[in-house]
Structures are given as structure tokens and as C-alpha cells.
Amino acid sequence: MKIMIINGPNINMIGVREKGIYGTKSFEEICSYIRSEGEKRGHDITLLQSNCEGKIIDFLQDSYFEKYDGVVINPGAYTHYSYAIHDAIKGNTGIPTVEVHLSNVHAREDFRKESKTAAACIGQIAGFGEKGYILAIEALEDYKEKNI
Ligand code: DQA
């Protein structure tokens, strides 16, 4: 499958920011882990990151025009207030998208418990660190197999 992995604002600072929550692995290490696990499963993996909402929306639109089979997105804090990213995921006319969070957002501050973007996705995975991206890829495989 052709899979686009999108990371949102501040995810590039993983390994530096709030290590007690996000751990000490660098963003680059996490990206190479995702790439190698994804390729091991036979997928074509594109890794993208932006701190800008509009750029993330451009990536999501590209996933449609460039005929991706699935998207995995960690929208960072945009999760909690971006209706524009919600609409962009919905507007992808049928490209299954899985939301991932490194931390368990449901066990943190109240504002993190709400996701404006998850309802546009086929599901959400939170709390399993970088393994969450691989679980999301597996969810896309299952989704494609069932052809829902
Ligand atoms: C995050 C959770 C968000 O609430 C936060 O703003 C992030 C990271 C996560 O991966 O756990 O930047 O998306």
C-alpha cells in the first residue's frame, strides 16, 4: 500500500520536549523505525511533518491527488481544535485515515481528551508511543482487506 504518514506541530521536537511524556527517542529515530517497519510489511511509506495547519491540509489533499491508499496522522495539538483538518480528512473522498497519538491523550489534561479530527478518521490509537504508527498501518491493512 502507498501510505502517507503526517506528523503535525512540535512532533519534530520529540526526544527534546517533555521527555517524561514522550520519551527520549528523537523524531528522526521514530521516523526511521516507522519507515523500516512499514517497508518490512511491503508498503511504500512517505513521511511528512509540518508545524503549519495549512501545510498539513495540503498534505491531506495531496494524498487524494497522488492516489494514496491510506493516511496515518498525528495532528499534535491541532487535534483538539482544527475543524479545517477534520474537513480535509473528510474531503479525502474515501482515503482511510488513522489518528495516532504517542501519549494517552485521554489520561492527560481535559483539553486533550477531545479530538476534532478523530471523527473524520476510521479510528484513533493513543498511548503506545511510536508503536502506535505501526498499529495504525496494520489497521489500514485490515481495513483494505475487509474493503469496507
Ligand atoms: C500528541 C498529543 C497532543 O495533545 C499534543 O499536543 C502533541 C502530541 C501525542 O502524540 O501524544 O503535540 O499528539
**Sign of the CA dihedral running 105, 59, 53, 34:** positive
* Residue 34: other Cβ atoms inside 10 A: 24
The predicted model scores a pTM of: 0.97
CA distance 145 to 148: 8
pLDDT of residue 40: 98
Residue 18: burial class (beta carbons within 10 Å; 0-12, 13-18, 19+): exposed
pLDDT of residue 147: 67
CA distance 53 to 21: 23
Q: Which amino acid is at 42?
A: G
The number of the ligand 1 atom at minimal distance from the alpha carbon of 112 is 4
Active site residues: 22, 101
Does residue 103 have its Cβ closer than 6 Å to ligand 1? yes
**Residue 129 CA, ligand 1 centroid: distance in Å:** 11
Does residue 10 have its Cβ closer than 6 Å to ligand 1? yes
pLDDT in tens, the chain (148 residues): 999 999 999 999 999 999 999 999 999 999 999 999 999 999 999 999 999 999 999 999 999 999 999 999 999 999 999 999 999 999 988 999 999 999 999 999 999 999 999 999 999 999 999 999 999 999 999 999 986 5
Atom 6 of ligand 1, nearest CA residue: 77
